[in-house]
Amino acid sequence: MTRRVTVVTAVHGPSARFLPDAYASLCEQRLPGGWEWEWVIQQDGTTDEVRPYVPDDTRVSFGQGRPGGPGVARTIALARAGGAYVKVLDADDRLTPGALSRDMAVLEAHRTVGWTTSRALDLLPDGSTVGFPGDPDDGPLERGVVLDHWKRNDFRAPVHPATLCVRRELLVALGGWMALPASEDTGLLLALDAVSRGWFSAEVGLLYRKWEGQVTGQASHVDPVERTARMAVAEARARALADFKWSYPAGPAGTSSTA
């Protein structure tokens, strides 16, 4: 029986031109026997700007919806996600060869790990890449370590949420991505960290494109009033989840597991 990993991509008009590059990086992935990927693309909007860039491939599903931001687009895309695992791929980014198989190998081998991340490099307009120091060690991330680091380092997580791969049932249990105008992926990462062990792969898994139109490069993204509010909500959610003592995987009779 074939098993599946779902790659979820939110896209809007300005980033649609990068979809062919993202698709090429998906086609380079080599999965273990009995596994296949599907690509669920969700447009944040209903214009005609995106569809021309969607590949003609039976493994690719394209949907549209009213604008609500990338978090809303990704969450609504879960209605079409049939995989046991959900991998994030932003429309303007590229996976590196082997990224999917490394994520799946960890999640298949370690039952108590709910999610994985990996090292990311910035992909600059001239095609060069830039890395940064300070990545955690290769291996498991115990519950709470992401929130602690994020809080102590001016709201900077030790791992990149754009590299996330997560068990579908855990993602759905947490409600998908946060309903925030930005940092919705960090909010999800902090929630996952509150309830489940994670994993960091020191091998590069993502090329994170830097370009003039990206949402995180806009002035509104660093507006101090909004940023403070986003961080407050994301932190409050993570701490509330931790206080409830619910964890993944659940223990017998619905109790929390401490494994």
Write down all domains in the chain, each with its CATH number in brackets.
3-251 (3.90.550.10)
Which pLDDT score is estimated for 250?
81
> For residue 227, which amino acid is it?
R
Radius of gyration of the chain measured on its C-alpha atoms: 17
CA distance between the termini of the chain: 30
**In Å, how far from its chain's centre is CA 90?**
8
pTM for the structure as a whole: 0.94
- The full DSSP string for 23-84 is HHHHHT--PPTTEEEEEEEEEEB--SSSGGGS---TTEEEEEE----HHHHHHHHGGG--SS
Euclidean distance between CA atoms 13 and 72, whole angstroms:
16
Nearest to 35 by CA among 78, 110, 85, 77: 85
Find all residues with CB under 8 Å of 175, minimum gap 6, and list them. Answer: 75
102: number of CA atoms within 13 Å, CB side? 21
**Cβ(42)–Cβ(10) under 8 Å?**
yes
Low-confidence ranges of the chain (pLDDT < 70): 214-219, 221, 251-259
Which pLDDT score is estimated for 222?
79
